[in-house]
Structure 1
Amino acid sequence: MVADIRPEAKDGFLLDEVPWGHFPLGDHVGEAIHLLHTGDSPVRTGTGVVSGMCANDMRAGAVLAVPFLIRIAADTRHPYRADALAEVSSPARARYFGVASRGELLLHRADTQYDDLYDDYGVEVTGYPAGWSVAGARIAITADTALLQPLLGDPDPEIRIHAAYALATATDSDRTVRAAFRTSLASEQDPIVRAALVLATAEATRAHPHPPTTTWMREQWQDPTQEPEVRLAAAIGWLCLTDKPAPDNLDAAVDRLATDERSHAMDGLPWMAIAGGSGQTGLQRCIRKMLHPEQPDPSECDDPWCPRH
């Protein structure tokens, strides 16, 4: 599907060559991408279509938008490039809203074959196999890693964060993407972006296991010279990469570092934003699910004016 789109069609936005009509609401996606590319749409119209379809478990048509969203994001002159990049990996992840356990957070399969992903992700509401859509999106992202990797050095920290989030879903058998995360981390100054690079490294490593990286992740959360955001991200990453019991010093470090202010700041990371729920930030919910799984979800407040995370 996506792999069959000619490079010239992707680079030239030859949208008529894309089989939008073969998939539910595909024509709607194609028109939204056209309007977004030409700047004739209101802010976020194109990206809103993609995010809405993914939220409604209708990824098949949205997958076709991925190569074009990447090219809009890579265009430094485009006014909505950050919005486009934020939606690049939406079709590449399934069943992840509200997921915060160490067994499921950061989990995606490295295989990009439909047969291997079908059982993992089931069927979309349209009847299309969800695994087929997820695989197609990851294939599209993997094909364009050369366009996404330079965005790890973009002047806009939001772009850097979402570039890491998208690249974390790429097939990375040769570990070049993970190496790019580590290289960027060495020069990155923003603590939240550094935390994003750590989580992206953990997600890539979960798909392509690498024991030295798991060891490195443990070193990061133990290192008192690291920023608290980095240590918290590394603690979560390490918990997702191993089934070992959490040591007492990890529990103590997390309890000390995870202040309310920091928890809300880290919701700027897409991994954390989608993990939140039950009145908790993503970080708070991950800590509870990973370190105290016996604790039930906090009761939701019945008052509609009740403060949310």
Structure 2
Amino acid sequence: MWSEEGIEFHSGTAEDVRFVVSQISLEVKDGFIYDAVPWNNFNHAYGPGSDVPDLLEQARTGDERSSDEALSKLSGRLLQQGTSSAAGALAIPFLVRIVVALPFHRAGILRVIAGLARRQYFGDGSRIGLLRAARADDQIVFEPSGYLANWSVQAAREALAADADLLLPLLDDFDPEVRQASAYALAAVPNRPASVADCLRARFQNEENPAVRACLVLAIGQLAWEERHPGTINQMCAWWQDSNQPAEVRVCAALAWLCLTDGPVPNNLRAFLELSATDDLAPLLESTPWLDHIVDGGFRRCLDQMFHPDKYPHFTSFLD
């Protein structure tokens, strides 16, 4: 990459997975015409993506056990230890259609889709990292294959954006785990499209499950993170200060507000969050996709990272 004058040398070519994903037609997606996609040119954690079409088809057409086996293999190959892959970005249009059609495994598939559309976490629950999907100016990161992970995540996010309308109805699924996972996936859609933001807010107004409410608040916050949307910042501030809101809503709104703003942590917000780290609330919050990856403390570890960033310089250096 360095000898070829930087990462943009192959931009917009057949070696750029962002370009390749953008060229996959609706006919190919809807018809599951896998042969129209150059799988062999892009890798996952175990080599070329040429084995992905068969696994996708097994997941789509097999019985519940066979489908589960295929999806487990896809997750291990495309999203090994939370690391995205170029082959995974190519798979997203098909995974989206599979999750809509299948009556089972929906939450798991959605989490794979969401993971492909986010940078690797590395346990990062900091103000900089908790709601950060990926940006074009993130530090350069490589996949195990040597491919540019920045491009894979960008391609995955754009693929997700192109088909976000197919996932929006899953916010109303009868299964709360599917509602959580769909909010997590939709939060990675770039450029904060109004349709996604409006649907997340509408679901929040009607949601009765505490864990799903927590996810919806964090998803609304993440969707606003890149542009620091002023209306969302004000909404999060109002929610966390509203004693009539449930505890999980107030806490997640406070976390989102911290991620969407700079400057010192206000004393009243710090005191509120420290008092909220109870044995009852912490497990509920740690069941959300945003916090369940933070090892050795979960919610309390997240607070420590937000309140004492000097103790975690590796997160800041990784992102800057």
Q: TM-score range by the shorter chain?
A: 0.7 to 0.9
Alignment partner of 1:291 is 2:307: yes
Q: Structure 2: how far apart are the matches of 1:63 and 1:239? A: 30
Task: Give the unaligned 5+ runs of structure 1.
Answer: 111-115, 298-309
User: How is 1:1-309 mapped onto 2 (pairs within 5 angstroms)?
Assistant: 1-24=20-43, 25-39=48-62, 41=66, 43-55=68-80, 57=83, 59-75=85-101, 77-109=102-134, 116-117=136-137, 120-274=139-293, 276-277=294-295, 279-281=296-298, 283-293=299-309
Counterpart position of 1:301: none
- TM-score normalized by structure 2? 0.83
* TM superposition shift of 1:45: 2.7
- CA RMSD, 1 decimal: 2.1
Counterpart position of 2:14: none
Change (3 A) 1:168 1:205: same
What amino acid does structure 1 have at the position aligned with 2:121? Y
Task: Give the unaligned 5+ runs of structure 2.
Answer: 1-19, 314-320
What amino acid does structure 1 have at the position aligned with 2:151? W
Q: Structure 1: how far apart are the matches of 2:96 and 2:236? A: 29
Q: Structure 1: how far apart are the matches of 2:250 and 2:110? A: 26
Change (3 A) 1:12 1:296: closer
Change (3 A) 1:208 1:228: same
Q: Structure 2: how far apart are the matches of 1:235 and 1:284? A: 14
* TM superposition shift of 1:254: 1.3
Change (3 A) 1:44 1:86: farther
Change (3 A) 1:174 1:23: closer
What amino acid does structure 2 have at the position aligned with 1:69? L
Counterpart position of 2:12: none
Task: Name the SS for the 2:224 alignment partner.
Answer: helix
Q: Structure 1: how far apart are the matches of 2:206 and 2:84? A: 39
Q: Alignment length, in residue pairs?
A: 287
**CA contact under 8 A between 1:50 and 1:62: conserved in structure 2?**
no
What amino acid does structure 2 have at the position aligned with 1:73? V
**CA contact under 8 A between 2:192 and 2:224: conserved in structure 1?**
no
Q: Structure 1: how far apart are the matches of 2:76 and 2:184? A: 15
1:253-302 CA distance string (max 9 Å, x none) = 1122221232122222101112x12x212x121111112345689xxxxx
* TM superposition shift of 1:242: 0.4
**Identity score, percent:** 39
Q: Structure 2: how far apart are the matches of 1:180 and 1:51? A: 31
* TM superposition shift of 1:102: 0.5
1:152-201 CA distance string (max 9 Å, x none) = 11111111111111111112344332222111111111111111111001
1:218-241 CA distance string (max 9 Å, x none) = 111111111111111111101100
**CA contact under 8 A between 1:15 and 1:34: conserved in structure 2?**
no
Change (3 A) 1:261 1:68: same
* TM superposition shift of 1:52: 4.2
**CA contact under 8 A between 1:47 and 1:83: conserved in structure 2?**
no
Q: Structure 2: how far apart are the matches of 1:173 and 1:251? A: 28
* TM superposition shift of 1:29: 2.1
Change (3 A) 1:55 1:97: farther
